[in-house]
């Protein structure tokens, strides 16, 4: 089941909310959420929901083992078991086929490549359980002694299948003690509708522009062989906007639903394309993932404390893992290494000059490199990725510009302008400006309600004829 679906929007979510608010006690509300979360996951993954429950139980038991002993040796043993379970399960499902294919290619042998279906959301909920076990070991959180509450944390449907990666410490108190105010409900619904609009109206439309530039994965990105240099960069820029509206739209819906149910998830995107450096970009993009790697990989490796050479190694390890987390494909590894190298260069040489440079220069620098990065990310076929790089510098006989690129741009000019404006903090600044004006409160409230109705109605009309509408990050 997906969020951007008429059945979810008009039946599943309203029914869940109705039963949730009928149940007045927190314990009863937790049970409602747990049942709907398991049904939500089982809707598309009837087999894997059993694995999700078993997987959660194993992590619950290792957490109990960590919490009940004062022996550091026994704590460490329980943590190692949790790490083996979590990393092992993720590796088997996500990377077995990739490793077998590369061994075959390297050694010239023919080991059968297993066709293992990837359970939806496994990358996200694995990182949640990992953070729980590590935080228990570090003493940052108390062990959850009630299994159904732990299962609720792991399986809660707003953030189960595509994040944000919610740490147990963020919602531990709210599992037992929370309340939902009218402000929570109002702002939560607005956030949900904003997310639907980002996904259905903008992201899906941007995806057609990308397909027009490069083709799609099903046809081997056939269009990239003939795309112009300007078209290759334009296509990569559209990928950047597409991914932003698709994934931030999902995060908006997840955060909004959490708010309605009384949970306060951390922000996952803070207008990343206003960045003036790659360092700043990664403080604004997919924050739950970048901070996860910072806290559970980079700092334990030594962070900045063991000299510049070790710091460089730590950064490259983190970014190689960040790339590999996104998928079992060499382009993701290359993408991670690409950003790791850029961050190293900034940390060593460029960050201070960028801070002193005119904002326009540093902003163009950052956006250019980010857009190239999304071009790398888009092509999981290495042959197509090579053609993309050649197209950027006119090295495959392609022209600098083409009629196809101009037509794509001009026919979608209003969509592109709207996407660019909405990727910037225009609306928050307008709200801040309006709040300073007298007699604007009721006007802004009315305008907000009208906009929500329009966005939801337009999204619903689009979804009537669009039943296959998965979020991009489902495959990660």
The average pLDDT across 366-394 equals: 93
Query: Does the pLDDT value for residue 421 go beyond 80?
Result: yes
| Higher pLDDT, residue 223 or 20 | 20
Query: Does the pLDDT value for residue 314 go beyond 60?
Result: yes
- Which band of pLDDT confidence, cut at 50, 70 and 90, is reported for residue 111? confident
**pLDDT score, position 85:** 93
**pLDDT score, position 348:** 85
Say which of 24, 286, 326, 363 is annotated catalytic: 326
Question: What would the DSSP string read from start to end of 152-195?
Answer: HHHH-TTTTTT-----HHHHHHHHHS----HHHHHHHHHHHHHH
Query: Does the pLDDT value for residue 231 go beyond 70?
Result: yes
The average pLDDT across 104-123 equals: 85
> Percentage of the chain with pLDDT > 90?
65
Query: pLDDT digits over 337-356, tens only?
Result: 999 999 999 988 888 888 88
**In this structure, what token pair is assigned to residue 329?**
């494909």
Q: Flag the least confident range among 298-307, 359-368, 379-388, 452-461.
A: 298-307
| Higher pLDDT, residue 293 or 308 | 293
Is residue 5 within 8 A of residue 469, CB to CB? The reply is: yes
Query: pLDDT digits over 267-279, tens only?
Result: 999 999 999 999 9
- Cβ-proximal residues to 115 (8 Å cutoff; 6+ apart), any chain: 97
Contacts 24+ apart (CB under 8 A), 146-152: 147/56, 147/57, 147/60, 148/30, 148/31, 148/34, 149/30, 149/175, 149/176, 150/56, 150/59, 150/60, 150/63, 151/34, 151/53, 151/56, 151/57, 151/60, 152/30, 152/33, 152/34, 152/37
Query: pLDDT digits over 24-37, tens only?
Result: 899 999 999 999 99
**pLDDT score, position 468:** 54
Instruction: Give the count of beta carbons closer than 10 Å to the beta carbon of residue 84.
Output: 11
In whole angstroms, give the CA distance from residue 280 to residue 292.
16
- Which band of pLDDT confidence, cut at 50, 70 and 90, is reported for residue 195? very high
The average pLDDT across 347-366 equals: 90
Q: Flag the least confident range among 23-37, 266-280, 306-320, 406-420.
A: 306-320
- Summary mean pLDDT of the chain: 90
Angle in degrees, 0-180, between the axes of helices 48-68 and 72-107, rounded to the nearest 10: 140
**pLDDT score, position 473:** 61
The average pLDDT across 387-411 equals: 89
The average pLDDT across 125-142 equals: 94
Is residue 193 within 8 A of residue 452, CB to CB? The reply is: yes
Nearest to 223 by CA among 236, 233, 210, 239: 210
Backbone angles phi, psi at 261, to 5 degrees: -85, 5
Peptide bond into 164 cis (omega under 30): yes
Nearest to 351 by CA among 281, 423, 293, 425: 281
Query: pLDDT digits over 239-250, tens only?
Result: 999 999 999 999
- Which band of pLDDT confidence, cut at 50, 70 and 90, is reported for residue 175? very high
Instruction: Give the count of beta carbons closer than 10 Å to the beta carbon of residue 151.
Output: 22
**pLDDT score, position 129:** 95
**pLDDT score, position 474:** 59
**In this structure, what token pair is assigned to residue 42?**
């089982």
Query: Does the pLDDT value for residue 447 go beyond 90?
Result: no
In whole angstroms, give the CA distance from residue 229 to residue 346.
27
**pLDDT score, position 469:** 61
Is residue 463 within 8 A of residue 469, CB to CB? The reply is: yes
Nearest to 87 by CA among 126, 135, 118: 126
Query: Does the pLDDT value for residue 467 go beyond 60?
Result: no
Is residue 154 within 8 A of residue 129, CB to CB? The reply is: yes
Is residue 328 within 8 A of residue 98, CB to CB? The reply is: yes
First to last CA, the chain: 16
**In this structure, what token pair is assigned to residue 467?**
């039943």
Clarify whether 24 is annotated catalytic: no
- Which band of pLDDT confidence, cut at 50, 70 and 90, is reported for residue 434? confident
Angle in degrees, 0-180, between the axes of helices 26-44 and 13-22, rounded to the nearest 10: 160
> Domain boundaries in the chain?
6-178, 184-475
Is residue 235 within 8 A of residue 210, CB to CB? The reply is: yes
Q: 385-410 burial by CB neighbour count: b if 16+ within 10 A, else e?
A: bebbbbbbeeebebeeebeebeebee
Measured between alpha carbons, how far is residue 69 from residues 92, 140, 427 in Å? 31, 15, 51
Nearest to 462 by CA among 162, 207, 211: 207
Query: Does the pLDDT value for residue 405 go beyond 80?
Result: yes
Nearest to 244 by CA among 280, 217, 207, 214: 207
Query: Does the pLDDT value for residue 475 go beyond 90?
Result: no
- Cβ-proximal residues to 56 (8 Å cutoff; 6+ apart), any chain: 129, 147, 150, 151, 154, 155
Q: What is the CA radius of gyration of the chain?
A: 23
Query: pLDDT digits over 153-164, tens only?
Result: 999 999 888 779
């Amino acid at each position: 089941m997906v969020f951007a679906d008429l059945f979810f929007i008009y039946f599943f979510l309203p029914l869940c909310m109705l039963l949730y608010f009928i149940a007045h006690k927190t314990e009863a509300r937790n049970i409602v959420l747990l049942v709907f979360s398991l049904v939500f996951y089982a809707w598309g993954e009837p087999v894997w929901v059993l694995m999700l429950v078993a997987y959660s139980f194993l992590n619950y038991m290792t957490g109990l083992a960590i919490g009940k002993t004062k022996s550091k040796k026994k704590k460490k043993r329980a943590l190692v078991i949790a790490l083996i379970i979590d990393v092992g399960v993720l590796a088997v499902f996500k990377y077995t086929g990739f490793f077998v294919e590369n061994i075959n290619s390297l050694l010239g042998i023919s080991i059968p490549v297993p066709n293992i279906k990837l359970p939806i959301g496994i990358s996200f909920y694995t990182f949640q359980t990992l953070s729980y076990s590590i935080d228990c070991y570090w003493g940052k959180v108390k062990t959850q002694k009630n299994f159904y509450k732990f299962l609720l944390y792991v399986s809660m449907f707003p953030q189960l299948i595509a994040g944000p990666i919610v740490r147990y410490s963020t919602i531990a108190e709210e599992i037992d003690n929370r309340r939902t105010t009218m402000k929570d409900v109002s702002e939560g619904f607005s956030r949900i509708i904003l997310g639907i609009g980002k996904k259905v109206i903008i992201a899906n439309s941007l995806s057609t522009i990308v397909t027009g530039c490069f083709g799609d994965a099903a046809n081997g990105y056939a269009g990239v062989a003939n795309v112009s240099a300007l078209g290759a960069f334009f296509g990569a820029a559209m990928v950047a906007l597409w991914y932003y509206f698709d994934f931030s739209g999902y995060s908006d819906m997840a955060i909004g639903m959490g708010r309605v149910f009384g949970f306060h998830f951390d922000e996952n995107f803070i207008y990343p394309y206003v960045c003036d450096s790659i360092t700043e970009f990664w403080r604004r993009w997919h924050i739950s993932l970048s901070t996860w790697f910072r806290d559970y990989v980079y700092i334990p490796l030594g962070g900045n404390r063991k000299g510049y050479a070790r710091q460089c190694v730590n950064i490259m390890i983190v970014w190689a893992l960040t790339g590999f987390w996104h998928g079992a494909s060499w382009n993701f590894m290359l993408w991670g290494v690409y950003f790791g190298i850029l961050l190293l260069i900034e940390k060593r040489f460029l960050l201070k000059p960028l801070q002193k440079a005119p904002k326009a220069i540093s902003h163009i620098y950052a956006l250019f490199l980010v857009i190239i990065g999304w071009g790398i990310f888009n092509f999981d076929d290495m042959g197509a990725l090579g053609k993309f790089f050649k197209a950027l510098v006119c090295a495959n006989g392609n022209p600098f510009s083409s009629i196809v690129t101009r037509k794509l741009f001009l026919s979608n000019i209003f969509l592109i302008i709207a996407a660019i404006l909405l990727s910037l903090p225009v609306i928050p600044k307008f709200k801040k400006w309006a709040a300073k004006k007298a007699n604007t409160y009721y006007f802004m409230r009315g305008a907000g309600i009208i906009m929500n109705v329009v966005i939801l109605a337009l999204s619903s009309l689009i979804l009537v004829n669009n039943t296959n509408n998965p979020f991009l990050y489902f495959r990660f």
